[in-house]
Amino acid sequence: MEILIGVFIAIGFIFVVVLSRVITTTIHELGHAIPSLILTNGSVEIHIGSFGDNKNSFKIDLGRFKAFFKLNLLHWNIGLCSRKESTTLFNSIIIVLGGPVFSLLTGIILYFILNSYQWGEAMTFVFAFFIISSVFDFLVNIIPMGSPILMADGSVTYNDGTQFFKLLNDSKMPERFFEGVKLQQEKKHDAAIEQFRKALDEGHDQRQIHFGLVDSLSESGKLDQALEHVEFLHKNNRLVIADYNYVGNLLLQKENYHAAIQFFDKYLYKYFSDSATLNKRGYAHLRVGDYEKAYYDFNSAILQQPKFASAYNNRGLAKIKQGDVEGGLKDIEKSRTLDDSDPYLYLHLGYYFKAINEPQKAVEHFQKAKDMGIDFHGLDYLIETT
């Protein structure tokens, strides 16, 4: 009987811990969502149990506000709030601080409730866990962390404390910087370039202005000029470790795969668990013919993110290139079950059929990838020669 009671106590303990984390995480994200709804006119989403993964999530749709709850015991303590509309610097500060403030207020209110009445041991235990969970959310989010947070779509963000200090730094920027950012948001990249250049010419030398210029040059298709400016920053020791990932992405767009690998190497030396960058470096290895290194990068990305469709698809091609044709097909089919909208899926199926000497099916899949708008240099030649 004592053993049975002990089991129930253990189950109850686990239940209270998980429930407290889910509820306090939700409260924290609502702290971001509520001011976002008040201060912007766009849609606002919160994700509990994931960093933006909507698949297999319980959804609550209340017009502009949507909430996604993902049942994942390994990630019940994570959450995300995203808004579709940008806002002013002051409003952004309010939104960023809303999460930690809600967490701290929750802990304070629960503490006063706990001390206002004579609760039994069980309720005191429950209150204590909720207070600890709320204070934990406050501390882990308000203390700036340099390590990026990997989102479900492969992008990165940072915790509330880091974002808050970044916004404070932005407040010291010249007016031209904010004009440039506004023009960026309006997709007027040439006008944004002019504003950022003028700000630099006027003697303002902040990193945000330099990378605002690089972003606008990149978005307007002036990749060579963007890379020239990055090289200037590199020579003057103005790059931080996270910038190497950014530069690697620019080089990947330029199909300068060897240089991209070098920058990804520097970034991944510190952020070795970034599955999105592992997948990109693997793709660069794939394009230069280093299939073994490509395979290990894709494999590492999948270990970090077991439902990473693109990594499965790319690992499938790496296997095909190394002679494991059926193993490659298995990976590509796995990718299809996760996301069948990626044109690279059909490109790689084309390589599979080409490898097993079925040129007609290969061309059909290459053509489908082309029809889906794939950005793959040499696809027409590949279709013609196949």
Tell me the C-alpha distance between 322 and 359, whole Å: 19
Domain count of the fold of the chain: 1
Residue 137 falls inside a structural domain? yes
Residue 132 pLDDT > 70, yes or no? Answer: yes
Q: Is residue 340 part of a domain?
A: no
Is 270 domain-assigned? Answer: no
Task: Report if residue 30 sits inside a domain.
Answer: yes
| 48 is a domain residue | yes
Domain annotation covers residue 121: yes
Q: Tell whether the model's pLDDT for residue 263 goes beyond 90.
A: yes
pLDDT at 13 over 60: no
Domain residues for 16? 2-167
pLDDT(76) > 60: no
Say what the pLDDT of residue 12 is.
Answer: 60
CB atoms within 10 A of CB 61: 9
Predicted pLDDT of residue 77: 61
pTM: 0.71
Give CA–CA dist 137/110, Å, rounded. 14
Instruction: Report if residue 65 sits inside a domain.
Output: yes
- Confirm whether 59 is domain-assigned: yes
pLDDT digits (tens, 9 = 90+) for 365-383: 999 999 999 988 888 999 9
The C-alpha atoms of residue 293 and residue 130 are separated, in whole angstroms, by: 46
Distance CA 243, CA 146 (A): 12
Cα three-residue angle 102-165-192, rounded to 5 degrees: 115
